[in-house]
Amino acid sequence: PMRGSQRAAAGALLLALLPTALEWLLAREFAVHTSGGVLITGASTGIGHHAAVALARQGYHVYAGVRKEADAAAISGAGIATLHPVTIDVADSASLAAAVASVGDALEALGLPLIAVVNNAGISKDLPVEVQSLSSARQVFDVNYFGAVDVTQQFLPLLRAAGGGARIVTTGSLAGWISMPGTATYSGTKHALEAFSDALRMELQPHDISVSLIKPGYVVTEIGAKALAGSDPEALARSNPAGHALYKDFLELEAIRVKHVFELAPGPEVTTEVITHAITSRHPKTRYFVGAAGVLPGWVAARIKWLLPDRLWDLMIAYEEIITRSLA
């Protein structure tokens, strides 16, 4: 017979696996488009660029959204006939309207539908709440959240014209479920994308359009370096000396922690794999956990956060701070 500790362990394992089992049992089938157009925002570098190249090499006509002419030139010079740069600023509705017209005309000339939109554009400018400027916070929401909403609204008519089986894929984050200290703004946008994707998925069920949310943990991309720059203690000292004095130790430790976790993180190939699955599978998932959360896989960290009371989770994060101090 099983001992009490063994029964408890088995029960915990079953509880952790239950969501996965139910997801498999309730998987919904969608038509798969083996050709057509795919729009990816934030495709100049990192996750978006890697996915754009991979999907173009599979034969999809990929419209890689960039803001800078130099990035557009680099994409054009990649030598992939089905990879097309398109100028998009997701925080500018007029820019999006022009992109919709450009992509629509290009696909009409090819006789192809738009079969997927990947909302990937994102920025990170985080500081502790007390010293975070509202202008920076609003800019992050304008790009990460409102940008995704605007892109989706403007491109949905083209997706609906595909006749069923079109896909909307949004790059969220493990930060949409796990908020770390000092990341209130970025995590706030990713929490918002959770609600956005859930509501959108149910709204588009009658139109046979799949909606998936990608939830990366730490993945090695340029946004990590930019996040560190945005939390630069010296920059805060120049703009807000009093705030710098309050949070100097925290920011210095955070820079060490983030540097360490990125050293353990995989590259964007892990996100490209699940983005491709969300677009090409007959049974796309509603959520994909990828990447790392320090020494743990992202999905494991998410399960632990789900199971533990908040106060116990807070103690774990405090313990991580002690570990970080030992790395300093």
CA 290, CA 295: separation in Å to the nearest integer?
Answer: 13
Q: Which segment of 7-21, 25-39, 222-236 scores lowest on mean pLDDT? A: 222-236
Q: Which segment of 170-174, 209-213, 223-227, 278-282 scores lowest on mean pLDDT? A: 223-227
pLDDT, average across residues 216-232? 67
Between 228 and 310, whose confidence is greater?
A: 310
Q: How would DSSP label each residue in 122-163?
A: -------GGG--HHHHHHHHIIIIIHHHHHHHHHHHHHHTT-
- pLDDT for res 227: 53
Residue 215, pLDDT above cutoff 70: yes
Please count the CA atoms within 13 angstroms of the CA of 212 that sit on its side-chain side.
Answer: 30
- pLDDT for res 224: 58
Cβ–Cβ < 8 Å for 114, 36? yes
Which one-letter amino acid corresponds to residue 166? A
Provide, rounded to the nearest whole percent, the portion of the chain with pLDDT above 90: 65
Helix (H, G, I), strand (E, B), or coil: what is residue 43?
A: coil
- Indicate yes or no: pTM above 0.85: yes
Residue 19's alpha-carbon distances to 10, 14, 125, 303, 325, in angstroms, are 15, 9, 33, 10, 36
Is 319 labeled as catalytic in the residue annotation? Answer: no
Indicate the average pLDDT of the chain.
90
Residue 284 CA to chain centroid, in angstroms? 16
Provide, rounded to the nearest whole percent, the portion of the chain with pLDDT above 70: 92
Between 292 and 281, whose confidence is greater?
A: 281
Return the structure tokens found at 58: 């599979």
Between 90 and 295, whose confidence is greater?
A: 90
- pLDDT for res 276: 98
CA 60, CA 38: separation in Å to the nearest integer?
Answer: 7
Of the candidates 131, 168, 216, 138, the one whose C-alpha atom is nearest the C-alpha of residue 40 is 168
Cβ–Cβ < 8 Å for 78, 53? yes
CA 170, CA 168: separation in Å to the nearest integer?
Answer: 7
Residue 157, pLDDT above cutoff 60: yes
pLDDT, average across residues 188-201? 98
Phi, psi of 38 (to 5 degrees): -130, 125
pLDDT tens digits for range 44-91:
999 999 999 999 999 999 999 999 999 999 999 999 999 999 999 999
- pLDDT for res 32: 97
Catalytic residue from among 60, 63, 145, 186: 186
Residue 67's alpha-carbon distances to 91, 228, 263, in angstroms, are 11, 22, 29
Laid out side by side, the sheet with 167-171 consists of 83-87, 61-66, 37-40, 114-119, 167-171, 210-216, 287-290
**pLDDT-based confidence at 8, cuts 50/70/90?**
confident
pLDDT tens digits for range 236-273:
778 888 888 898 888 888 888 888 888 888 899 999 99
Exposure string over 31-68, b if 16+ CB within 10 A, otherwise e? eebeebbbbbbbbbbbbbbbbbbbbbeeebbbbbbbbe
Residue 163, pLDDT above cutoff 60: yes
- pLDDT for res 125: 87
CA 286, CA 169: separation in Å to the nearest integer?
Answer: 9
DSSP state of 32: -
